[in-house]
Amino acid sequence: MLASFVIMPVELMIHTGVGGVSSLLFGGMLVVLGLITWFAPDQHVVTGAMAGFLGLGALVLSNLGGLVAGTLLALVGGGLAFAWRPVARPSRRT
């Protein structure tokens, strides 16, 4: 939600100011944090907390966080990542 509204030419994005640029940056950072959580599950506490803080920052800097939906999705996703406990896979017997 955050990054979907800023698909526009760079000149127009810079002209819109902090709201346009921060939406793209916050959306990109949330995607990167999601990928880090997926591929390095041991870091779930750090990435979940950072995603929650990015969601709160988007509420202030990014036009009410993508019309509030982006902030809510970032907070829910960050909370789920923070609370997630990776389970070891059972060993295969051959």
pLDDT tens-place string over residues 57-92: 888 887 666 677 888 888 899 999 999 887 777 777
pLDDT tens, position by position, 21-71: 777 788 889 899 999 999 988 888 999 999 999 888 888 887 666 677 888
pLDDT of res. 46:
93
Judge whether 60 and 87 are in contact, CB under 8 Å: no
pLDDT of res. 35:
94
Give me the amino acid identity at 39: F
